[in-house]
C-alpha cells in the first residue's frame, strides 16, 4: 500500500479510513500527537517521540491505551506494511469517544496512526521567513491537536512566498509555526528556553548534541526580534525538515555571517539521521 491508516486496531488504505464523529479529536481537538520520518524501514528517534507523546498525554490527564512497548510494536508494524522506505509516520491519541460535553468522559482513549511516502528536503536550500505575533495559548510545551494559530501563521507565510513564520510574544521570539528557531551569535548557539511557550523539539535536542560534538556553546535564553535580525545566522529545526538556514525575515536580509559554523551544524544534524537509519 502507498499510504496506510490505523484506528483502534483497524488498518486500511488511508483515504478509506474513517473515525467516529464523537471522537473528541473531532470537536475539541482533545488529544496529542507525534510525527517522525522513517528511512530504510527504521523509525527515527522513536523512543524520544514515544516518550514525548506520553508526557503530553500526562499533562492532559489522557491515558494512552497501550504501554510504550506495545505502541512501539504497532508503529513498527505500520512501517513494515509500506511499499516505500522513506515515509512520515504520524500518530495521535484522543481522549476518547463520547457525546459532546466539556468534562472528561468515561472510557478509553483512541489511537490513530497514518504513514505516507516522504521526500526528504534539500538542506542546502536557503529559506525566507516572516514574523508574526504568537497568538497561541500558554501550553505550547504540550504537543496537542490545537493548531489553528499555527495553521494561520503558516498560511500567512506561504501567501508571502515564505517557508515559515517566526512567532514572538511582545517581541520575545518563541518558535515557528511548526519548527523551533535558533540563532548563532559570536560563535554561540542561542535558543529559546524550554518553558511553556515552546514545544521542545526532538530535532532541537539533536542539534544541541551536535553542538556538543563541535564545541559550540549552547545558551537557552529569551531573545527578541531585534537580536534575531542582528544574529550571525538564523535557522529552523524540526523532525521532518531537519534544519534550514534563514536568509531573509520580513523581506530584510538576515544572517549569512557564519557559514562555516552553520554548515557544520547542518551536516552534523543530517549525518546523525543518516547514521541512525542506515542498514
Catalytic residue from among 143, 178, 185, 275: 143
In Å, how far are 54, 189, 224, 225, 253 from 221, measured between CA atoms?
Answer: 26, 10, 10, 13, 24
Q: What residues are paired with 172 via a beta bridge? A: 169, 224
- Please list, in sequence order, all residues whose beta carbon lies within 8 angstroms of the beta carbon of residue 265, skipping any fewer than 6 positions away: 189, 207, 210, 211, 214, 216, 235, 243
Q: What is the 3-state secondary structure (H, E, C) of the chain?
A: CCCEEEECCEEEEHHHCCCCCCEHHHHCCCEEEEEEEEECCEECCHHHHHHHHHHHHHHCCCCCCCCHHHHHHHHHHHHHCCCCCCEEEEEEEECCECCCCCCCCCCCCEEEEEEEECCCCCCCCEEEEEEEECCCCCCCCCCECCCHHHHHHHHHHHHCCCCEEEEEECCEEEEECCCEEEEEECCEEEECCCCCCCCCCHHHHHHHHHHHHHCCCEEECCCEHHHHHCCCEEEEEECCCEEEEEEEECCEECCCCCHHHHHHHHHHHHHHHHHHHCC
Instruction: Determine whether 275 is an active site residue.
Output: no
Cell, residue 118:
516522504
Q: Which residues are catalytic?
A: 143
Amino acid at each position: 500500500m502507498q499510504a496506510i491508516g490505523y484506528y483502534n486496531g483497524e488498518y486500511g488504505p488511508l483515504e478509506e479510513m474513517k473515525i467516529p464523529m464523537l471522537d473528541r479529536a473531532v470537536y475539541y481537538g482533545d488529544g496529542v500527537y507525534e510525527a517522525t520520518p522513517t528511512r530504510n524501514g527504521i523509525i527515527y528517534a522513536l523512543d524520544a517521540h514515544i516518550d514525548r507523546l506520553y508526557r503530553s498525554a500526562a499533562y492532559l490527564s489522557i491515558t494512552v491505551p497501550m504501554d510504550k512497548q506495545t505502541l512501539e510494536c504497532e508503529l513498527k508494524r505500520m512501517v513494515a506494511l509500506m511499499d516505500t522506505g522513506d515515509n512520515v509516520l504520524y500518530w495521535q491519541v484522543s481522549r476518547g469517544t463520547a457525546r459532546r460535553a466539556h468534562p472528561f468522559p468515561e472510557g478509553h482513549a483512541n489511537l490513530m496512526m497514518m504513514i505516507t511516502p516522504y521526500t526528504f528536503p534539500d538542506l542546502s536550500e536557503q529559506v525566507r521567513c516572516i514574523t508574526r505575533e504568537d497568538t497561541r495559548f500558554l501550553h505550547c510545551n504540550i504537543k496537542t491537536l490545537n493548531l489553528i494559530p499555527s495553521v494561520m501563521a503558516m498560511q500567512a507565510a506561504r501567501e508571502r512566498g515564505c517557508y515559515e513564520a517566526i512567532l514572538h510574544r511582545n517581541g520575545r521570539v518563541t518558535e515557528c509555526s511548526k519548527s523551533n528557531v535558533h540563532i548563532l551569535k559570536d560563535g554561540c548557539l542561542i535558543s529559546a528556553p524550554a518553558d511553556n511557550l515552546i514545544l521542545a523539539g526532538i530535532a532541537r535536542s539533536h542539534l544541541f548534541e551536535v553542538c556538543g560534538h563541535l564545541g559550540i556553546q549552547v545558551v537557552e535564553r529569551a531573545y527578541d526580534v531585534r537580536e534575531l535580525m542582528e544574529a550571525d545566522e538564523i535557522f529552523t529545526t524540526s523532525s521532518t525538515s531537519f534544519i534550514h538556514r534563514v536568509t531573509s525575515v520580513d523581506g530584510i536580509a538576515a544572517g549569512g555571517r557564519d557559514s562555516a559554523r552553520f554548515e557544520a551544524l547542518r551536516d552534523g544534524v543530517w549525518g546523525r539521521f543518516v547514521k541512525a537509519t542506515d542498514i
